[in-house]
Amino acid sequence: MWVNPCSSQNRVAMHLDVVDLRSFYYRTKLGRSAQRAISDKARGIWPDVSGLTVAAFGFSVPLLRPYLEEAERTLALMPGQQGVMPWPAGQPNMSVLCHETLWPLEAESVDRLLVMHGLETSENPPAVIEECYRTLAPEGRVLFIVPNRAGLWAKNDATPFGFGRPYSLSQLEAQMKFHGFDALGHAAALFQPPSVAPFWMRTGRVWERLGQRLSNSIAGGVLLLEVKKTVPAPPNRGLPEALKKPQRVLDGMTSPVPKPV
């Protein structure tokens, strides 16, 4: 059973441990169910990443695997406070340990970026968002997955989504706008209750389908916000308006008259 050392009544920003995250998503029924629901929604938002560079920050590898065969390059960034694990299993390692606000990536080198368990647990969310902006290519996109403040999962300490700061959609959109991102669309996932009771586990897919029809942001356990990097247009350094009668250099001078010999 997942144990959260921080009470939901008084949360502080703390990174989760990679061992606990791996155990939840890969070794528990509830974690695998959550992985499937979020991954299906993310895949629907980005159905094709052929020829693109796809990176993930936080603990987003459960969502990254479907893109391995399509993307030109795939990389998983894991913050030092969380720890790192080799990924993907049985293949050459594509994960790297990094400082949460200083990634080993060149500026404008990423086309698509997934962020899960990386923003709500950060001690410096604005710096994380700035690093997203720095490394993203012009017109690149980020998909932020965060606990929904209004959802049941953020109120339950038995899963990773009951950890850190939950967000409302308006809060998340405001932060992205402040840092130069345009919101393209939002969605929600994890409509089944965070319970391991047999009934809820058996009917998890049903609740996901029903939830998608009834609510796109309120009842889901997590919010998904897709944003695009906006690049300011270069300043216009030309004349403010064209001259209808451009002045010539010699205008105003009389034609030279030959001097008599």
Bridge partners, residue 125, by sequence: none
Give the count of beta carbons closer than 10 Å to the beta carbon of residue 148: 26
C-alpha to C-alpha distance for 107 and 135, rounded to whole angstroms: 4
State the pLDDT at residue 246: 47
* Domains detected in the chain: 18-229 (3.40.50.150)
Q: Is the pTM of this model over 0.85?
A: no
Tokens, residue 150: 């209004």
Residues of the chain with pLDDT under 70: 1-13, 199-201, 203-204, 206-207, 211-218, 232-261
- Residues 182, 167 contacting (CB under 8 angstroms): no
C-alpha to C-alpha distance for 231 and 249, rounded to whole angstroms: 39
State the pLDDT at residue 258: 54
SS3 content of the chain, % helix, strand, coil (to 5): 30, 20, 50
C-alpha to C-alpha distance for 56 and 113, rounded to whole angstroms: 5
Tens digit of each residue's pLDDT (9 = 90 or more) over 146-177: 999 988 899 888 899 998 999 999 999 999 99
C-alpha to C-alpha distance for 230 and 245, rounded to whole angstroms: 38
- Phi-psi group of 122: left, alpha or beta (phi > 0 → left; psi -120 to 50 → alpha; rest → beta): beta
C-alpha to C-alpha distance for 95 and 109, rounded to whole angstroms: 16
User: What is the residue-averaged pLDDT of the chain?
Assistant: 83
Q: Where are the alpha helices (DSSP H) in the chain?
A: 18-27, 29-45, 61-64, 125-135, 169-178, 198-202, 204-214
C-alpha to C-alpha distance for 166 and 223, rounded to whole angstroms: 10
